Structure 1
């Protein structure tokens, strides 16, 4: 068996340790917030030596960023339905379900909380940048299919989709109805001059 095969073996010890650390990090963030998270507590919950956490991630902030990105990739995968409208509806539906769940709502408040900790600010900024980069594939694919102009601002498209959902979850606390994802997708498709989605009834 090659060294590469060993390194990439699914379910190996390294993967299990990372999963345990990420799960523990999310638990601590949920309970104590970003400012209250310590590497020692995460390591203890995960059953891992504290020094090994620093060897793997370098800093507390890196650990939080990687844990949040891994968590979001699991629960909020970037959809690929074959159309811009379908992708937007699917992604908004995922986000709606997540931000209204107990854990998702709590983590959203953690990330949105104002504070004086520059390290936490960096976590929030880098996490958001990472998610926008991944979700930008929705727009990149739409441009390649000719659904959007090649000058389309991917971040603006995603902000227009996500912001109303976060507004309701964080500020107004209004329920997000089942039709909200489709209404948002319809508005974005029209607003950016996208080619009409003739298969919209199949997505959602």
Structure 2
């Protein structure tokens, strides 16, 4: 028997969490951050608002956890034993997230909101800091295998891998393809091997 409050795979708590996170992304995508509310999320998820407030005290907390959970599901940290394959898999995962029904719209809503709200800007910084720290292991392994120069800045490599994909979502509104993701990965890899991202 599970302890009270624990999440059992396939249990009611897990289903409610999934419903709420799905509703969170949908609400962000349709209403933007300024008009986003926990009450609206509860209505969209088909749960009572006290159920949401009991676990997530603020909308900021709810948004951060929903985004982090989505990123973890869609963007695994690959470990194929080859940096080229790892970066290509990572870029394709980022592309899949941005091309998903709510991925691109959610990012656009938060980036737009961050221009006027320090709270939203903090959410974005926290989200990216968490993601960068997790994918940094790819670079660490590559350095240990001799595939990259020692001192390669993992944050800079990952930013340059993701930047072309986010540029298409946020600036040019061009469609994202796997070929585009592969080119972004190849360009970031070439720059890293050339020492462009050396911390020193």
- Give the TM-score of the pair, scaled to structure 2: 0.83
Alpha carbons 2:2, 2:8 under 8 Å: kept: no
Question: How far has the Cα of 1:102 moved from its partner?
Answer: 4.1
How many matched pairs?
A: 193
Unmatched segments (≥5 aa) in structure 1: 195-204
For 1:55, the equivalent position in structure 2 comes to 54
Deviation track 1:99-122 (CA, whole Å, cap 9, x = no partner) reads 234422212211221532222222
Larger deviation: 136-145 or 66-75?
136-145
Deviation track 1:144-180 (CA, whole Å, cap 9, x = no partner) reads 3332234221110100100011112221234445433
Distance 2:102 2:60 in 1: 20
- Give the TM-score of the pair, scaled to structure 1: 0.81
Report the aligned-residue RMSD: 2.5
Larger deviation: 170-179 or 107-116?
170-179
Distance 2:175 2:49 in 1: 41
For 2:154, the equivalent position in structure 1 comes to 154
Distance 2:15 2:175 in 1: 37
For 1:9, the equivalent position in structure 2 comes to 8
Alpha carbons 1:21, 1:46 under 8 Å: kept: yes
Larger RCO (CA within 8 A; separation ≥ 6): 1
Distance 2:109 2:2 in 1: 43
Question: How far has the Cα of 1:31 moved from its partner?
Answer: 0.9
Unmatched segments (≥5 aa) in structure 2: 195-200
Question: How far has the Cα of 1:83 moved from its partner?
Answer: 1.2
Alpha carbons 1:61, 1:119 under 8 Å: kept: yes
